[in-house]
Amino acid sequence: MKISFYGACRTVTGSCHMIETEDTKLLVDCGMFQGSKDLKELNYGEFSFSPNEIDYVILSHAHIDHSGLIPKLVKRGFKGTVISTKPTTDLCSIMLPDSGHIQELEVDRKNRKLARAGEPLIEPIYNHLDAKRALMQFSTLDYNLKVDLTPTISVRFQDAGHILGSSIVEIWVKENSYQTKLVFTGDIGNLNQPIIKDPTVIDETDYLIMETTYGNRLHKKLGNKQELLLQIIESTFFRGGNVIIPAFAVERTQDILYYLGKLDLAGRLPDCKIYVDSPLAISASEIFKVSVNYFDEETKAAFDKIWQSPGILKRIVMTRSAEESKKLNEIKTNAIIISASGMCDAGRIKHHLKHNLWREESSIVFVGYQAPGTLGRQIIDGKKQVRIHGEQIAVNAQIHNLDGFSGHADQNALLHWFDSFKQKPKEVFLVHGEPEGMDAFKNILLEKYDIEVYTPEINQSFDLKHGKVKVYDVQGPSEKDAALVYANIINKLSELYRVNLERHEIKQLYEKLKTIEKTI
């Protein structure tokens, strides 16, 4: 078996990893690169593999840096199935067409420049129709259900506690009658987030492919996040300004609304209107409303109370149209504006920053990861002036970076999650992190545990059979592995018996069974 890394290698975005066995190729995630211009350029090139040879995409969660190139994969010939949880499929059904629409707008803008320069025009990576077409290939799998994709590959999702529907992906591969397990963390959630559960603890794996977004950082101790948010809102309104919250349309927006709803229910929210100014966030909120079964217990209990309270319903204004959005520019105070994109590099948030960033009365509240090169990162890094829509804008507003709201585990939480393995993986591949974070986390793992840690480069492949600690061939399977293989064969036998009798296959399995029986 071979594993290859095609994205999120020593960078955070573009997650795409391939597992290749003798007869199957599957991708875990097929995400878009985001952030700097150089990274974004990678989205336009050809894939480093043939999309028509891929059998499955196992999608960890809906975020565009994990799902965003699936429509391109389909456009380039992928005919297989995308497997994800129900909420991930639902969220993708709005996020991927939205992403297609963004690609179209971006290319229109680029082509206007190219045409003026007399250069050849370019095509969007994919358009919203390509995205809709890709959605036809999605198939859902619920948490905790182990399914056989092929006679030799099984997969199971566990809740990653990162966003609604997010998964840790467990994959089992049988080769030469021995079984190898791989775990892909996807993005690991922060502890004690509202709405969603904490990340699932995994007991054991042979290989671990782990994210390290906050590999070298600790979230600031925020105390009570809700109280902190309230303090910022109160002091901003006292100064006569607005609270601008750049937030990812999925999860962060709903988390903030949940906190504001709880404050309102307790009668503590000052007089204000809450504007959700992102059509994507509005549609995503609808999906949250029908996904209550996936919430943690506390949220399940509070959800109806909050969303049926006339108080909060009166305050929240969902602005879908561009005209409604533009009107918000005239509001000087007592508005909380939640808008996307979360990293401020596109979308309506740029207008709200243009109208509030220069006003010392206003506050900008960051609640998520800001990739290098984005407008959001420039602001939290303390730039005194930033460029928005070709205009220099002074940064006079109060800037709050509440990374404790982040959907990602920080260094301590990542370590805590790793430490929960009863049997530690022997080989760990670190992905989805900036080089400093990844290297720091690698050093900690090497100091604490007797394991091998790799930080793969883009397009790098590793053979997981040769040169790795796989002793099965020499010593035979352990008792537990043998029992697992035994159980799977019994399952397979009964399935064949029911479906149709493929005699040679049954004979083969029977032979395997006999050898394994001896070892148990």
Residues at the contact surface with Zn ion, assessed by CB under 5 A: 63, 65, 187
CB of 171 to Zn ion, least distance (A): 19
Measure the CA–CA gap between 401 and 366, rounded to whole angstroms.
5
In angstroms, what is the minimal distance from the CB of 310 to Zn ion?
34
Helix, strand or coil, per DSSP, at residue 189: coil
In the bound complex, what is the minimum distance in angstroms from residue 376's beta carbon to Zn ion? 15
* Neighbour count for residue 475 (Cβ, 10 Å): 8
Nearer to Zn ion, 183 or 233 (CB): 183
Q: Is 322 exposed, middle or buried (0-12, 13-18, 19+ CB in 10 A)?
A: exposed
Compare residues 363 and 455 and give the one whose CB is closer to Zn ion. 455
Name the residue nearer to Zn ion (CB basis): 65 or 90: 65
**For residues 299-318, b (16+ Cβ closer than 10 Å) or e, as one string?**
beebbeebbeeeebeebbeb
β-bridge partners, 178:
175
Q: Which residue is nearest to Zn ion (CB)?
A: 63
- Tally helices (H) and strands (E) across the chain: 18, 22
- If the CB atoms of residues 264 and 403 are measured against Zn ion, the closer one turns out to be 403
Q: In whole angstroms, how close is the CB of 61 to Zn ion at the nearest point? A: 6
**Nearer to Zn ion among residue 187 and residue 277 (C-beta):** 187
By beta-carbon proximity to Zn ion, the closer residue of 63 and 377 is 63
Q: How far is the CB of 115 from Zn ion (least distance, A)?
A: 35
Closer residue to Zn ion in complex, CB, 4/167: 167
Alpha helices in 320-461 (DSSP H): 322-327, 349-356, 375-380, 411-419, 435-448
Tokens representing residue 247 in the block: 């937030």
Cα–Cα distance between 132 and 144 in angstroms, integer? Answer: 28
At closest approach, how far in Å is the CB of 17 from Zn ion? 13
- Two structure tokens written together for 287: 């999906």
Smallest distance from Zn ion to CB 184, Å: 12
Q: Which is nearer to Zn ion, 65 or 264 (CB)?
A: 65
Q: C-beta of 287: minimal distance to Zn ion in Å?
A: 16
**Token pair belonging to 216:** 């070298």
Q: How far is the CB of 442 from Zn ion (least distance, A)?
A: 19
Query: 246 or 261, CB closer to Zn ion?
Result: 246
Q: Measured from the CB of residue 405, what is the shortest distance to Zn ion in angstroms?
A: 14
Three-class HEC string of 207-230: EEEEECCCCCCCCCCCCCHHHHHH
SS (H, E, C) 121-183: CCCCCCCHHHHHHHHCCEEECCECCCEEEECCEEEEEEECCCCCCCEEEEEEEEECCEEEEEE
Buried b (16+ CB within 10 A) or exposed e, 4-20: bbbbbbbbbbbbbbbbb
Query: Whose Cβ is closer to Zn ion: residue 63's or residue 350's?
Result: 63
Please state whether the peptide bond connecting residue 36 to the residue before it is cis, i.e. omega within 30 degrees of 0: no
- Orientation angle between helical segments 297-307 and 252-265, nearest 10 degrees: 70
Describe the crossing of helices 225-239 and 252-265 by its angle, rounded to 10 degrees: 80
Min separation Cβ 502 and Zn ion, Å:
42
Q: Report the distance separating Cα 258 and Cα 225, nearest Å.
A: 12
Residues 6+ apart with CB under 8 A from 458: 5, 6, 7, 9, 10
Give the nearer residue to Zn ion in terms of CB position, either 63 or 442.
63
